[in-house]
Amino acid sequence: MYRPDHATHTASTAHLDDRVQFLVVADENSLAELEAELALLPLCARGRVFVEVEHDEQVVPLATPLRMTVTWLVRSHRSGRPGTGERCAAGEAGARAVRAWSDEMLCDGPGETRAILTGGFALVSEVRDHLLDGVGMSLDAVSAPAFS
């Protein structure tokens, strides 16, 4: 049933869709850290979680806020660089997924997006560089481990 008063109300009502969105990235080496980071997010958090693992057996249930979408990236099912016939290297699937997601979801700039990066050097460094240099996120919006 169409209700014009509802349409008017919806158009003039401030919505909470301008909250911070989260991008969380992990791999099989950081599943415990990933679970801890997800537990710290607000219940109303929204955004994406990308988890790169080597095999199907490493996919486990994750407790996330309801508005978070989890994507498991299983390297054994993915190819490496196009046209090479190589297998997907560690960090490659996660970095590709983040580049595709950020190109679509952050096309107007990073806005209020926070990134939480965990995992191995290849994944974290590639994603961090893309978010800072390619997308223009500020250093304080990206939480990543320091590698020595």
Evaluate whether residue 74 is within a structural domain.
Answer: yes
Evaluate whether residue 68 is within a structural domain.
Answer: yes
Q: Which residues of 135-145 are buried (b: 16+ CB within 10 A; e: fewer)?
A: bebeeebbebe
On whether the pTM is more than 0.75, the answer is: yes
pLDDT in tens, 7-39: 444 444 444 445 799 999 999 999 999 999 999
In this prediction, residue 148 carries a pLDDT of 61
Beta strands in 34-132 (DSSP E): 46-53, 67-74, 113-117
User: How many domains does the structure of the chain reveal?
Assistant: 1
Residue 136, phi-psi category: left (phi > 0), alpha (psi -120 to 50), beta (remainder): left
CATH code of the domain in which 129 resides: 3.40.50.80
Range(s) of the domain holding residue 29: 20-143
pLDDT in tens, 57-85: 999 999 999 999 999 999 998 888 777 77
In this prediction, residue 84 carries a pLDDT of 78
pLDDT in tens, 122-145: 999 999 999 999 999 999 999 999
